[in-house]
Structure 1
Amino acid sequence: MNLVLLLILTLGFSMSSCSVQTGMMSIHTREIDLIVKMNQGDYWNTLKMGAEVAAKEFNVKLNFLASDHEDDITGQIELVNQSIHNRPDAIILAASDYMGLAQVTDRVAYDNIPVISIDSEVGSARVKTYVGTNNYEAGQLAAERMVQLIEGKGQIAVMNFVQAARNANQREEGFLDYVARYPDIKVVDIQYSQSNQRYAEELTRSWLVQYPNLAGIVALNAESSIGVGREVQRSGKGGKVNVIAFDSPPETMEFLQEGIVQALVLQNPFNNGYLAVQYAVEIIEGHKVPDRIDTGIKLIDLDNMLWPENQKLLFPFVK
């Protein structure tokens, strides 16, 4: 009898322990809409992958929503309106236009749906937190390496992406503020590719003709980087025109190894997606979260690309 009683007590304790542990976890499936700038590209695919991993871990139904093109501001506003109508537990938003998405973001908050900003900020005080890169610092990091490569003098051009996007503006500002310290460096032009690889190629082709002594080009996102790299390679000016690129799609990685691109500024899109979902769940459950979650940046070149910690950034994967 004593043994039976002991077993009953032990089982009872185990069941109550499991019950407590389950109570600490969210057993209710949460629904979160992830609205990003574009439904294609290595960066967004990696960010989506990180979000999906977190969704499985935190019992979330994740809806991935995006326009075909990053400059489709109207389309993204419609996606947010659609999301409001469906009333998810939270919305994670990578705003294509800082002010263009501000009003609809306020509306989300007025409907008591928490908003988490990811990758690119939006002009609304109602956002609960921002998850992503310090884009000003990313621009400064790109400028620092460009200055080293051209030894503090020469003509350079900036290939930005969408003019109204907050992260685009911040990267450009950081870059320009840094190179302004060097009177022998002249920024001859700034263009916006609209995150279109072909258009970035055309703009680069025009630069290479108009500025035969061009010393360097910085491309401030993945799609711009691919377009710039292709045209510099096609023109035979690889290694003559220094290129700093952003992110690490396979084609840009090849450009780095071939000497077409001299360095990459890497974000951490997997972590961006994962942490945005994690913090969204915490907000839904009533927890206080930081105002900003900086997921870091790193500059990669041929000297450090094979370091183990950098390989994880260059080639994110899930077991």
Structure 2
Amino acid sequence: MRRFKWNVLISLCLFTGLLGGCGEQSVEPTVGSTPLQIDMIVKKKDGEYWNTVKLGAEVAAKEFNVKLNFLGPDSETDIKGQIKLMEASIKADRDAIILAASDYMALAQVTDQAIGIPVIGMDSEVASARPVAFVGANNYASGQLAAERLTALTGPEADIGIVNFVKGARNADQRIEGLMDYLARFPGISIVETAYCGSDQELAYRQAAAMLKRHPELDAIVGLSGEAGLGAGRAVREAGLVSKVKIVTFDSPPAVMEMLQEGTVQATVIQNPFSNGYLAVKQAVEYIQGMDVPDRTDTGTKLIDLNNMMWPENQKQLFPFVR
């Protein structure tokens, strides 16, 4: 595999509001004459979130002369499919692999096999010592952020349902852990049911609808992914309970933003998928060139509601673009 050792000092001012604005000076990876071959293996090859990750990754790939292969199964629950993609990338001896692991434990063994190939973790971690860096949100803190807003909406006594996404995914586990730890401060709050929708919006809808029937006293539902929130929002709307059941969710697909504007969803915790994709590729190139990369890069989260969704700094993150 190719390994470059050149360094160059240039000024950095990229994607204000998305990547932190302008620094004074920063060491940037150089652009080699031969493209680096980097595979980015994500949980699902399409969808609003992953399309934005891909957009950021493609910008970095163009900037740093990378031949980027954006790969993923059709479903976030296709763990075996993601393992096969990892096996193929290792066999192809790529210059680097960027992995958003669908399952923290199940992807560990195949990741361990990437000997001599730098692995960058992105979005969700894997139980392997092989990754040299991780780029993504602090999902525990994100769960706490959602819980803080939830309790402000419901008060200290409430019955709450949770719709999570993929059981075993590290970020899913961390979000619910942060949520539950925060809610433990309130003895009057009861979690009546927790469901896992596998990032399937239709399944999330059926789960939330059943939850509403089984628990007519329900005060709120937390959707720990965009698909979970959309399914829950549809169920609450169709049950005629918009004024009663509060919803806090994650991510910012257009349909979630519409539900926010109409009052079905009260708040959503957004990540920075553009930066996740961009910085994962950038750090892969830096590592290949012998530069130091941080062990962890927190790309941040924000809580968006009807009051702040139109703020200019939030618009840049909700609707990313490249200047």
State the TM-score, normalized to the length of structure 2.
0.90
What letter corresponds to residue 40 of structure 1 in structure 2?
A: D
Is 2:46 the partner of 1:26?
Answer: no
The Cα offsets for residues 52-109 of structure 1, whole Å up to 9 and x where unpaired, read as 001001111100000000010000000000111111100000000001000100101x
What SS does the corresponding residue of 1:88 show, helix, strand or coil? coil
Is 2:270 the partner of 1:263?
Answer: no
Q: Number of matched residues?
A: 298
Is 2:50 the partner of 1:44?
Answer: yes
The Cα offsets for residues 207-227 of structure 1, whole Å up to 9 and x where unpaired, read as 110111101111011111111
Is 2:263 the partner of 1:280?
Answer: no
Provide structure 1 residue ranges, at least 5 long, that are not aligned to the other structure.
Answer: 1-19
Q: Which residue of 1 aligns with 2:25?
A: none
What SS does the corresponding residue of 1:128 show, helix, strand or coil? strand
Shift of 1:229: 1.3
**Pick aligned residue for 2:193 from 189, 192, 204:** 189
Q: Which residue of 2 aligns with 1:14?
A: none
What letter corresponds to residue 40 of structure 2 in structure 1?
A: L
Q: Which runs of 4+ in 1 moved over 4 A?
A: 20-24
Alpha carbons 2:309, 2:315 under 8 Å: kept: yes
Q: Which residue of 1 aligns with 2:229?
A: 225
The Cα offsets for residues 26-68 of structure 1, whole Å up to 9 and x where unpaired, read as 2231111000000121000001000000100111110000000
Provide structure 2 residue ranges, at least 5 long, that are not aligned to the other structure.
Answer: 1-7, 11-27
What letter corresponds to residue 283 of structure 2 in structure 1?
A: Y
Alpha carbons 2:29, 2:289 under 8 Å: kept: no
Shift of 1:318: 2.2
Provide the rounded CA distance (Å) in 2 between the counterparts of 1:24 and 1:87: 21
What SS does the corresponding residue of 2:81 show, helix, strand or coil? helix
Alpha carbons 2:29, 2:286 under 8 Å: kept: no
State the TM-score, normalized to the length of structure 1.
0.91
Which structure features the higher share of helix residues? 1
Provide the rounded CA distance (Å) in 1 between the counterparts of 2:92 and 2:244: 53
Is 2:322 the partner of 1:318?
Answer: yes
Q: Which residue of 2 aligns with 1:240?
A: 244
**Pick aligned residue for 1:299 from 289, 293, 303:** 303
Q: CA RMSD in A?
A: 1.4
The Cα offsets for residues 193-243 of structure 1, whole Å up to 9 and x where unpaired, read as 011011000000011101111011110111111111111111111131000
What SS does the corresponding residue of 2:163 show, helix, strand or coil? strand
User: Who wins on radius of gyration, i.e. which is larger?
Assistant: 1
Q: Which residue of 2 aligns with 1:163?
A: 167
Q: Which residue of 2 aligns with 1:95?
A: 101
In structure 2, relative to structure 1, the CA distance for the partners of 1:191 and 1:284 (3 Å cut) is: same
What SS does the corresponding residue of 1:288 show, helix, strand or coil? coil
Alpha carbons 2:29, 2:64 under 8 Å: kept: no
The Cα offsets for residues 164-217 of structure 1, whole Å up to 9 and x where unpaired, read as 100000000000000011000000111100110110000000111011110111
Shift of 1:267: 0.3
Alpha carbons 2:41, 2:97 under 8 Å: kept: yes
Q: Which residue of 2 aligns with 1:60?
A: 66
